[in-house]
C-alpha cells in the first residue's frame, strides 16, 4: 500500500470513515504523502524549500502520474509549501478514490438539504486498522524500519496523528520515534518538516 493510502487509513481509522484530524491537517498530511511517493519513486526531489522534477517518465500509479503531470505543467511553481497547499485541496478525494478503486474503501454519498457529503467507509475494519497497528509493532522492534515506513511515521507525527499509532505503545516506541525521523534522507526529512509547518500554520489560522 502506498504512503498516502496508509496515511489516509490511519487518519480515518473509524468504522464510519470519519477523520481523526482537523480537515486542514488531514489534507496537508495526504498532500505530503503524495509528494513523498514521487520522491520515493525517484521522480522528484526536495531541497531548500523547493520541489524539482528529476524524472518525467510516468509512474505506474495513476494518481502519482497525475501529480507528476501537475508538477511538470506548473514548473514555475516550485515552493514545497505552495504544492502542499494546492494538493491538500483535493487530496482527501483523490486518495479516497484510489482506495475505493483498490477495493479497500466504499464511497458513500449522503444528501442533506442542498448538500451532498462524500465519505469513504471501510469494507473491512481490520484492513483499515492495520497500518496503525503495523507501525506500532515496528516501533517496538529493535531493527530500524524501512525508509517508506520511517517516512510514514514522519508524516503521522507532522500531522498530529501519533496518538493513533502510539496509544498502547510502551516507552521504547516513543523513544525510537524521536530517533527515526531525523535519520530520514534529506529530501524526505525536509518534506516532513514542511508538512508539519504547514499543518501548524493551517490549524492556528483556523483553516477549514
Digit-coded pLDDT (tens) for 125-181: 999 999 999 998 898 888 889 999 999 999 999 999 988 888 877 787 888 888 899
Distances (CA, A) of 4 to 74, 146, 171: 22, 16, 27
In the chain, what are the domains? 3-204 (1.10.3630.10)
Q: Which long-range contacts (CB under 8 A, 24 or more apart) does 136-140 make?
A: 136/165, 136/166, 136/168, 136/169, 136/173, 139/165, 139/166, 139/169, 139/172, 139/173, 139/176, 139/177, 139/180, 140/169, 140/170, 140/172, 140/173
Q: In whole numbers, what is the pLDDT of the chain averaged over residues?
A: 92
To the question of pTM greater than 0.85 for the whole model, the response is yes
Digit-coded pLDDT (tens) for 1-27: 899 999 999 999 877 778 888 899 999
Q: What's the pLDDT score for residue 109?
A: 86
Q: How many residues does the chain have?
A: 208
Tell me what the mean pLDDT of segment 43-70 comes to: 96
Q: What's the pLDDT score for residue 55?
A: 96
8 Å CB contact between 135 and 164:
no
Amino acid at each position: 500500500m502506498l504512503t498516502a493510502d496508509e496515511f489516509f487509513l490511519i487518519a480515518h481509522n473509524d468504522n464510519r470513515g470519519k477523520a481523526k484530524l482537523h480537515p486542514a491537517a488531514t489534507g496537508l498530511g495526504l498532500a505530503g504523502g503524495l509528494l513523498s511517493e514521487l520522491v520515493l519513486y525517484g521522480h522528484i526531489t526536495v531541497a531548500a524549500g523547493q520541489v524539482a522534477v528529476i524524472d518525467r517518465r510516468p509512474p505506474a500509479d495513476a494518481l502519482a502520474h497525475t501529480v507528476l503531470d501537475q508538477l511538470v505543467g506548473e514548473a514555475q511553481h516550485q515552493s514545497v509549501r505552495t504544492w502542499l497547499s494546492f494538493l491538500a485541496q483535493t487530496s482527501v478525494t483523490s486518495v479516497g478514490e484510489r482506495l475505493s478503486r483498490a477495493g479497500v474503501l466504499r464511497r458513500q454519498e449522503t444528501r442533506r438539504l442542498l448538500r451532498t457529503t462524500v465519505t469513504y467507509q471501510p469494507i473491512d475494519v481490520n484492513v483499515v486498522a492495520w497500518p496503525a497497528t503495523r507501525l506500532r509493532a515496528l516501533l517496538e522492534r529493535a531493527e530500524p524500519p524501512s525508509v517508506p515506513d520511517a517516512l510514514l511515521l514522519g508524516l503521522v507525527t507532522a500531522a498530529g496523528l501519533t496518538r493513533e499509532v502510539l496509544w498502547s505503545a510502551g516507552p521504547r516506541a516513543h523513544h525510537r520515534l524521536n530517533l527515526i525521523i531525523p535519520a530520514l534522507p534529506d529530501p524526505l526529512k525536509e518534506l516532513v518538516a514542511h508538512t508539519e509547518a504547514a499543518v501548524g500554520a493551517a490549524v492556528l489560522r483556523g483553516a477549514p
